[in-house]
Amino acid sequence: MKRHTARTLLAAGGLAASAALVLTGCGSGFDDSGSGGASGELTSSDDALTIMIGSSGDAETKAVTDAVAAWSKDSGVDAKVVAATDLTQQLSQGFAAGSPPDLFYLSTEALAGYADNGSLKAYGDQLSNKDDFYPSLVKNFTIGDEFYCAPKDFSTLQLVINKGLWEAAGLTEADIPTTWDELADVSAKLTSGSTKGLVFSGEYQRVGAFMAQAGGRLVSEDGTKAEADSDANVEALTYVQTHLKDGSFAFAADVGAGWGGEAFGKQLGAMTIEGNWITGALGDYPDVDPLIVELPAGPGGKGTLQFTNCWGMAADSPNQKAALDLVEYLTTAEQQLAFSKAFGPMPSVQSAADEWKSENPDLEAFLAGSDYAQGVPTNKGITDVLSDFNAQLESLKTGDPTAILTSVQTNLEGIVG
């Protein structure tokens, strides 16, 4: 589940809105069986399964391929993993042609579009391990009262500190920030020469953590009301703007980096805000020693954002019973821990938590965030709204936070409710 920028976030391991638009009106090629729709009984046949993934690299592709092969050998059902070069395009082409993969990576942002046109099988309530998933993840993939698909992994955003630069600035463990004021203070102390105190991507998928800490959100928790222009969100953007202006904060693009992890690795930022995928990327920067702690609380308390994908199942799949069995296998605690060791994702099942923390003591802050993290809104059309919001955030330093959020509010009202 490696995501470097918001643009990658919306595409890698997930599906963009454009793909959902392509799928609108696509028929269900196997509906003649009488059981291939979005709800109801699962289809069953001798057909092989195709699993399409948006891989972060060779390690993820190998881990998933090996796991599917082990399940296939045990179950007797042939199964093939396809590592898409462009998941959005290849998946939309498969649906348009009436031959989609049986299982595929699906992002929260894409869920509503695919569910709305009947492309997805809502199988979540049929999972034998349904109650093991973190409730917040189940909510991410639930529309109305239908739990669509099994969360395959997740991460929250937390604060990543460069230990070397921290100590060089005379800071100690006692200085780890727990409030916005403290974050501003240490950011100023860490700002020196070409190094900014805190560098992160200038996008909702990072800035939104401050909104959550202020007590704000884009859409109400039940998904029925736009709340972008709240006082809490104005306070959050104003706080970020203040420290962009004083030079202790910076957006990654403004220091010549593609994302916060690159800025951190190149020591253009002494701290960044990222998810657990940063650990793999820092392999390219062996001289940087990271310390990962929870983000400081804001006026509204602790807050962060959560990102996840699920195992989407095609409504057109002729062998949904086998696909469900495979999903249950891939989401066991044992298999998710194996994935974690292989390529870094955080397990989506609670039964894996203790062992994962034992094996990853330096990453516990990411799991702690699951208790208070907000998910990205799942309303149909949210991807376009976020793209516009991100374009406006790029100029937050010189912009008007209230005007930006008023624009986002108008856009959200067009898709919410």
Sequential DSSP letters for 73-126 = HHH---EEEEE-SSHHHHHHHHHHTT---SEEEEEHHHHHHHHHTT-B---GGG
Do 250 and 387 have their domain in common?
yes
Which residues are 311's β-sheet partners? 105, 150
| Same domain (yes/no): 371, 336 | yes
What is the rounded distance in angstroms from the CA atom of residue 240 to the CA atom of residue 212?
Answer: 13
pLDDT at 16 (0 to 100): 33
Instruction: Give CA–CA dist 132/19, Å, rounded.
Output: 31
Q: Can you give the pLDDT of all 417 residues of the chain as single tens digits? A: 444 433 333 333 333 333 333 333 333 333 333 333 445 799 999 999 999 999 888 989 999 999 999 999 999 999 999 999 999 889 989 999 999 999 999 999 889 989 998 999 999 999 999 999 999 999 999 988 899 999 999 999 999 999 999 999 999 999 999 999 999 999 999 999 999 999 999 999 999 999 999 999 999 988 899 999 999 999 999 999 999 999 999 999 999 999 999 999 999 999 999 999 898 888 889 999 999 999 999 999 999 999 999 999 999 999 999 999 999 999 999 999 999 999 889 999 999 999 999 999 999 999 999 999 999 998 989 989 999 999 999 999 999 999 999 999 999 999 996
Asked whether residue 183 falls in the same domain as residue 274, the answer is yes
pLDDT digits (tens, 9 = 90+) for 322-349: 999 999 999 999 999 999 999 889 999 9
Torsion of CA 249, 250, 252, 257, to 10 degrees: -110
Do the domain assignments include residue 300? no
CB proximity list for 215: less than 8 A, separation 6 or greater? 232, 298, 299, 300, 301, 303
Residues 128 and 239 in one domain: no
**Can you tell me the distance from the alpha carbon of 137 to that of 147, in angstroms, rounded to the nearest whole number?**
10
Does residue 299 form part of some domain?
A: no
Location of structure tokens 């904060």: 249
Q: What pLDDT sits at residue 279?
A: 87
CATH number of the domain at 323, please. 3.40.190.10
CA distance 114 to 370: 26
Same domain membership, residue 320 and residue 267: no
- Token digits of residue 109: 């942002």
Q: What residues does 219 pair with on adjacent strands?
A: 226
Between CA 91 and CA 93 the distance in angstroms is 5
> Do 369 and 395 fall into the same domain?
no
Phi, psi of 304 (to 5 degrees): -160, 180
Q: At what angle do helices 204-213 and 382-393 cross, to 10 degrees?
A: 90
What pLDDT does 39 receive? 53
Same-domain check for residues 250 and 177 = yes
Which residues on adjacent β-strands are paired with residue 301? Answer: 298
Range(s) of the domain holding residue 273? 158-294+381-413
Residues 148 and 288 in one domain: no
> Looking at the domain assignment, is residue 321 inside a domain?
yes
Q: Are 96 and 23 in contact, with CB atoms under 8 Å apart?
A: yes
Among candidate residues 206, 149, 154, 158, the one with its CA nearest the CA of residue 1: 154
| pLDDT score, position 289 | 97
pLDDT of residue 294: 98
Task: Report d(CA 198, CA 394) in Å as an integer.
Answer: 16
Q: Which distant-in-sequence residues (6+ apart) come within 8 Å of 45 by Cβ?
A: 318, 319
In a domain, 290, yes or no: yes
Do residues 118 and 176 share a domain? no
Residue 29 C-beta-side C-alpha neighbours within 13 Å: 14
Q: Is 181 exposed, middle or buried (0-12, 13-18, 19+ CB in 10 A)?
A: exposed
Two structure tokens written together for 39: 């709800």
Question: And the tokens for 197?
Answer: 């105190």
